[in-house]
Amino acid sequence: MRGFQAKRGLKPGLLLACVLTAGLAGCADVDNMFASSDDISASDAAQPTAASMAPDAGAPPTAGLPPPPPAASGIAPVATITPVTINTGSDTGTQVNKTIQTLRGQVSGLETKLAANAQRLADLRNNGAAAAGAYQESKARITTRLQIGTTKGNPELVSEWNSAQTSLDTLSANINQMNALGTDVTGDSSAAHFALDQISATFNVSGAVDEDHRQLSVLEDETNQTIVLIDRLLKEVSDDIQRQTAYAANERTNLTVLAGSIKNGELFGGTPGLTAAAAVSNLQFASSGTPLVVVRFDRPNVDYQQILYAALNQALQARPNANFQVVAVAPTRGNAASVQIAQTTARRHAQEVMRSMTDMGVPASRMNVASSTDPSAAASEVRVFVR
Q: Where are the domains of the chain?
A: 95-263, 283-386
More confident position, 268 or 139: 139
More confident position, 239 or 48: 239
Judge whether residue 32 has pLDDT over 50.
no
**Rounded Cα–Cα distance for residues 386 and 62 (Å):** 68
Tell me the per-residue pLDDT of 144-186, one tens digit each, with 9 for 90 and over: 998 888 898 899 999 999 999 999 999 999 999 999 999 999 9
Amino acid at the residue 81: I
Residues 355-361, mean pLDDT to the nearest whole number: 82
Give the pLDDT score at 288: 43
pLDDT grade for 313, boundaries at 50, 70 and 90:
confident
Judge whether residue 40 has pLDDT over 80.
no
Residues 192-197, mean pLDDT to the nearest whole number: 94
More confident position, 257 or 161: 161
**Rounded Cα–Cα distance for residues 228 and 113 (Å):** 14
**Rounded Cα–Cα distance for residues 144 and 30 (Å):** 20
Query: 283-386 has which CATH code?
Result: 3.30.1330.60
pLDDT grade for 41, boundaries at 50, 70 and 90:
very low
Judge whether residue 72 has pLDDT over 60.
no
More confident position, 262 or 305: 262
Q: Do residues 7 and 20 lie in contact, with contact meaning Cβ atoms separated by under 8 Å?
A: yes
**Rounded Cα–Cα distance for residues 204 and 19 (Å):** 55
Q: Which of 134-138, 297-301, 358-362 has the lowest mean pLDDT?
A: 358-362
Give the pLDDT score at 55: 36
Judge whether residue 336 has pLDDT over 90.
no
Q: What is the DSSP track for 330-376?
A: E---S-HHHHHHHHHHHHHHHHHHHHHHHHTT--GGGEEEEEEE-TT
Give the pLDDT score at 269: 56
List C-alpha distances in Å: 352 to 53, 160, 246, 357: 26, 26, 31, 9
Give the pLDDT score at 76: 54
SS3 content of the chain, % helix, strand, coil (to 5): 50, 5, 40
Report the share of the chain in percent with pLDDT over 90: 39
**Rounded Cα–Cα distance for residues 67 and 233 (Å):** 13
Phi/psi at 22 (nearest 5 deg)? -85, 70
Give the pLDDT score at 309: 84
Residues 77-101, mean pLDDT to the nearest whole number: 82
Residues 272-296, mean pLDDT to the nearest whole number: 53
